Amino acid sequence: MQTALKEKGDNMENTNRRIIWINTELSEPLMNTELKPYVRLLEFNGYDVTFSSSSDDATVLLKNKRFDAVLVNYLDLSTRDYGTVARIRREDPHIPIVLLTDTDDDEIQEVVSLYNVSDVMIMPTNPRQVVSSIGFLLDKQQMRDRYTPQAYVKNFNRQYSKHASEHEGQQLNSEGVNDEKDWQIWIDTYLRFVEWDFRLDALSIVDELKTIHEAEKREANAAFADYIQNTYSSWLESKDSPPLSVDVFHKFVIPEIQIGKSVLFVVMDCMRLDHWFKIEQLLYPDFHMTKHYYFSILPTTTRYARNAIFSGLFPIELADRYPHLYAEPEEGTTSVNRYEKDLMRLQLERNGLTLKPFPYYFKIFDEHGEIQYLDWLKDVNQISFTAIVVDFLDMLTHQRSEISLFKQLIPNEEAFRMVIETWFKNSRLYTIFKLAAERGLTIIVTSDHGSVLCKNGVKVSSPHDLSSGLRVKEGLEISCSSEAGLLIDNPAAYGLPNNGRETNYILAKEDYYFLYENQYSTFKNVFDGSFQHGGISFEEMILPCVILEPK
């Protein structure tokens, strides 16, 4: 039986939203008493309501007519039809479903979980609550599109006003030094930008707002580069410096080992902070998380930054103390970080840690490496400390510049985030994390550096050969615009060796990248819009270090 309180057919002039209300206990007295207030208010707010007394009739209606939402009475335990919601979902996987029930028992939770029920309302309830629920479900995207731009403007106006007042009110101590940890302000600033990256990802029509957001971020990145240029060298000596690459083991890893925990340390090469947040949401159900943030050393390349993590030493210290482990890679060598296992062992020994079983280091390049490490993790009896380096993100970042198919797959930062989430969700690395949780391991996840989307080529020159990086160059007599690059002519002040000669380094700021003048036109088309690293930006320098404890 079908009873339509308000049936206007499929008249093209009717713009009302249409709701089908499934009620297996439907009768005229019930309809005229208990349900009448709900129906009247729904109609008043522009909804047409069609009643159905069975799931079979409702399925036929859904096949033949367009409906915007479904209400399902799930009140009487004796008349609950478990299959009603299942049949609706088979007919329309996306239509919003609201369950009306008088209890929130296990069966309700099971139905909600299995069939993607949009909302559950405990009856009886105020009719306005039903109208509000339906309205929110149908209009949430439009409301998000409408209100997010307003919130964006208010947020950034408020933040800039706050930072200006903080800057004006900063006090100097007796030595004329600012007591405020200004590096923490930059971390908070970048976190806020990433938060808005994700909020804007969820909008459907935001081209203009995204353009404004990118301009705001670029302006902030320019200020951040100036800050790093003026401050970084002082961090090497200051007790109030932020955590740097050289501090990761000392501050985050070793304390966990010292209290007797079995630790899995994971370095995901070239993982940005926004990439981590995509991975984090997948791990949240299985782990308690303690989040820390640190700054990569300069240059933000694998050779310097990751060696600093595993050695606990700045490059100049590493070259001086262990020259055989710092040595330049030989011709044809596939990795410039082939001594990480030795550097890790030496750092543990310097901190008085002699572990049994012996620490295990492994580098994962591909699926075969994932399988090999997963098999080891399944079979090993006891673990004291194990470290893995995952190269997938770094390889994807570089190959995107070289393979046109990858450029189509990852046209922008939002797409990059989506690819990272899909990859991790379906990777054996995800399985490794879950197995580690089952074995009770504490997992510490970090990155050695990030990458930045490069949009502005700038000319660099030297009478000598320079290194090949697009965001960092090493060599002699380097010349480049000071607006686009930081020239380091005193490497020791930045913790860098001079390699036995008057070596200069130049690091790209913001979203610049370096091209030789005689190759500028040719390679600008190749590298515009590529992700690169080695320079100074939020995305390359501010990184997560997260401690995961199994739930």
**Residue extents of the structural domains in the chain:** 2-137, 245-451+542-550, 453-531
Q: Count Cα neighbours of 140 within 13 Å in the Cβ-side half-sphere.
A: 8
pLDDT value, residue 161: 46
Angle between helices 392-402 and 413-425 (to 10 degrees): 140
- Rounded distance, CA 509 to CA 485, Å? 5
Q: Across residues 237-262, what is the average pLDDT?
A: 96
3-state secondary structure 96-127: CEEEEECCCCHHHHHHHHHCCCCEEEECCCCH
pLDDT value, residue 311: 97
Distance of CA 237 to the CA centre of its chain: 32
Query: Of the given ranges (167-176, 182-191, 534-543), which has the lowest mean pLDDT?
Result: 167-176
pLDDT value, residue 83: 79
Q: What does the block give as tokens for 81? A: 């039809």
Query: Which of the four CATH numbers 3.30.428.10, 3.40.50.2300, 3.90.1150.10, 3.40.50.300 does domain 2-137 have?
Result: 3.40.50.2300
Beta carbons within 10 angstroms of residue 444's beta carbon: 24
pLDDT value, residue 105: 78
Burial class (CB in 10 A: 0-12, 13-18, 19+), 162: exposed
Q: What is the SS3 assignment for 473?
A: strand
pLDDT value, residue 253: 98
Distances (CA, A) of 518 to 61, 461, 483, 532: 69, 9, 21, 21
Q: Which residues contact 232 (CB under 8 A, 6 or more apart)?
A: 298, 494
Dmax over CA atoms of the chain, in Å, equals 95
Per-residue pLDDT band at 516 (split at 50, 70, 90): very high
Per-residue pLDDT band at 28 (split at 50, 70, 90): low
Is 18 a residue whose pLDDT tops 50?
yes
Per-residue pLDDT band at 77 (split at 50, 70, 90): very low
Contact assessment for residue 523 and residue 432, using Cβ atoms and an 8 Å cutoff: no
Contact assessment for residue 459 and residue 517, using Cβ atoms and an 8 Å cutoff: yes
Segment 33-68, tens digit of pLDDT:
678 899 999 999 999 999 888 888 888 999 999 999
Helices (H) and strands (E) in the chain — how many of each? Answer: 22, 20
Q: What is the SS3 assignment for 359?
A: coil
Per-residue pLDDT band at 328 (split at 50, 70, 90): low
Query: Of the given ranges (106-110, 173-177, 331-335, 354-358), which has the lowest mean pLDDT?
Result: 173-177
pLDDT value, residue 75: 59
Q: Are strands 47-52 and 2-4 parallel, antiparallel or unpaired?
A: antiparallel
Q: What does the block give as tokens for 175? A: 């030595």
pLDDT value, residue 239: 85
DSSP E strands: which ranges in 146-303? 263-268, 287-295
User: Could you write out the DSSP letters of every residue in 276-331?
Assistant: HHHHHHHHGGGEEEEEEEEEPPSS-SIIIIIHHHHH-S-HHHHHHH-HHHHPPPPT
Q: Across residues 78-99, what is the average pLDDT?
A: 81
Is 192 a residue whose pLDDT tops 70?
yes
Amino acid identity for residue 310 in this structure = F
275 or 204, greater pLDDT: 275
Contact assessment for residue 533 and residue 497, using Cβ atoms and an 8 Å cutoff: no
Contact assessment for residue 434 and residue 377, using Cβ atoms and an 8 Å cutoff: no
Among 522, 509, 412, smallest CA distance to 456 is for: 509
Q: Across residues 501-516, what is the average pLDDT?
A: 94
* Averaged confidence pLDDT in the chain: 87
Distances (CA, A) of 109 to 76, 80, 269, 472, 500: 16, 14, 40, 55, 69
Is 355 a residue whose pLDDT tops 70?
yes
- Rounded distance, CA 21 to CA 410, Å? 43
H or E element in which residue 141 lies? helix 127-169
DSSP classification of residue 218? H
DSSP E strands: which ranges in 424-530? 442-446, 452-453, 456-461, 472-475, 479-480, 485-488, 504-508, 512-516
